[in-house]
Amino acid sequence: MAKTRWYKNAVVYQIYPRSFMDSDGDGIGDLNGITEKADYIKSLGVDAVWLSPCYKSPNDDNGYDISDYCDIMDEFGTMQDFDRMLQAFHDRGIKVLMDLVVNHTSDEHNWFQESRKSKDNPYRDFYIWRDGKGHDKKNPPNNWRACFGGSAWEYDETTEQFYLHLFSKKQPDLNWENPKVRESVADICNFWLRKGVDGFRCDVITYISKPDDLQNAKQSEVVVGPRWKTYIHELADRSFNKYDTLIVGEAAGIDFPRACEITDESAGLLDMLFHFEHVAAIPVCAYSQKSTNLRRFKRILFRWQSLPETAWGAVYYENHDQPRSLPRFAPAGKHREAAAKSLALSLLFQKGTPFLYQGQELGMTNCPFTRGDYRDIQSVNLLADMQKKPFGAFLSKFTEKYLQRYARDNARTPMQWNTAKNAGFTQGTPWMKINGNYREINAQSQIQNPDSVFCFYQKALDLRKQYADIVRDGEFSPIDKRNKHVLAFTRQLNGKYLLAVCSLSPKSAKCKIPAYLCTGQATLLLRNTKQPIALTETVYLPPCTCALWEISPEKSK
């Protein structure tokens, strides 16, 4: 089937099912809760949703450890609930993406349960097993470390070998060198695509191929494996290319030049990818509460805006693996609403497909966690590891300060729906701490307030549709690139311009505008302040102010 590339006009909204909406009072979000909120998502104005994993899982890594790819997690509901949810979105013209997690499975998956039984089991080669080192062969095959702490190898007494797990020990890595593994993954994809799912976000997809000399290879070689592109080509032929899909890959190890090749439409690999350069642009001191250095942030964003015409990008500020963009990229506090709107404008009019994360449209913020509040395996393990080190109490204090700023838990607090108990998320005991600012920040109050962050997103998303040709195909040009307070750019197509000027500073700022943009007739399309903003060669901006202009082609030079 020929791809329509529908995603070039789309905005995608990510849902973290566990924290979105609980329909049955057990304190855990579920599929019926998502269905209840389908009208809310439609009213926002997005075109697709991406669901973090809702497959059967023992939840060692909140669903990213899958025990059955073709069934639904008990806490989330049933396959019938999924089908109703899928239909509800499709009835509203909203496409649905699933999270494809196939670098590893749960150790409770039937494949692994069989694999560990004996060395001659038919499923033995579905995973990566190696002899240990030392006279008793009980030392790990190499010194690789797991992303969640500890060795990347786990010893199994039954067969007296180690299995590889680049993440949790309950997430054994699949052996993609085995053709039967690749066939099984294609079958899983086709199962969901036949149901009507519209594509996948592929978790750590560049990790799937491992170096040949595994014991002696550097761990850095696994971040972008030697044959992952070959395997994705094969998977596309067997599955993705038979449907009009969007395939977006999480690609931590891919730099800009390689991204240009990988996302080229003729390559037949990924339609777009998530890079990590901009979200890695943290302050020099990781414990600082200051926002990210804007000049560095802009340099990264602007470089990724220069993908060739035959390639496509994904743009995002938040997701389930990142803390909230407030106060990371712009100040919170008294400027929170203005800052959230300014970030919205700066994101939604870049070139590429924007991905919004649940609660971002409300300006939700990081949560003031204490040690016992963390639920993410990465945070919990890091705190435990610090306690074991010399001066553990001292190190733990610094670790907690770091986690308050950068922990994945910040994005996973329950959605703030209203001012009722538990923010309207659940009638029971929530699985995770709810941010106490829900009385101030919640969907119900914002829907009713035309000056809210939510309504600003609605207006911006509507303007994206009105100016779809410029937003999709227009040339991107940075404005006042070295400005350390303002992110500004134009989108231009056939002599017609959109000019976005977004202050991300808690102080008053100014932005230099090229003279040719000031001589035509400018129409102010959107702003986040009631104060007038004059389009002159120097635009003066109150704290966190943003504005979007259309500049007519007749008088532009």
pLDDT tens per residue, range 139-180: 999 999 999 999 999 999 999 999 999 999 999 999 999 999
Q: Give the CB-side neighbour count of residue 12, counting CA atoms within 13 A.
A: 32
pLDDT in the model for residue 164: 98
155 lies in the same domain as 55: no
DSSP 389-422: STTHHHHHHHHHHHHHHH-THHHHSPP---SSGG
255 lies in the same domain as 376: no
Q: What domain range includes position 337?
A: 6-103+178-367+417-456
Q: Is 373 labeled as catalytic in the residue annotation?
A: no
pLDDT in the model for residue 50: 98
442 lies in the same domain as 529: no
pTM: 0.96
- What residues of the chain score a pLDDT lower than 70? 281-291, 391-392, 553-557
Select which of 30, 203, 321, 550 is catalytic: 203
As a whole number of angstroms, the distance between CA 189 and CA 202 comes to 11
pLDDT in the model for residue 290: 52
Asked whether residue 412 is domain-assigned, the answer is no
Hey, is 185 helix, strand or coil? helix
Select which of 47, 60, 250, 361 is catalytic: 250
211 lies in the same domain as 284: yes
Q: Is 125 labeled as catalytic in the residue annotation?
A: no
CATH of the domain at 528: 2.60.40.1180
For residue 327, is the peptide bond before it cis, meaning its omega torsion is within 30 degrees of 0?
Answer: yes
Q: For the chain, how many helices (H) and strands (E)?
A: 17, 20
Which of 135, 152, 173 is the endpoint of a domain?
173
pLDDT in the model for residue 300: 95
pLDDT tens, 277-301? 999 855 434 444 455 789 999 999 9
pLDDT in the model for residue 291: 58
Q: Which helix (H) or strand (E) holds 249?
A: strand 246-250
Number of domains, the chain: 4
248 lies in the same domain as 355: yes
Asked whether residue 289 is domain-assigned, the answer is yes
Residue 534 token pair: 């004059």
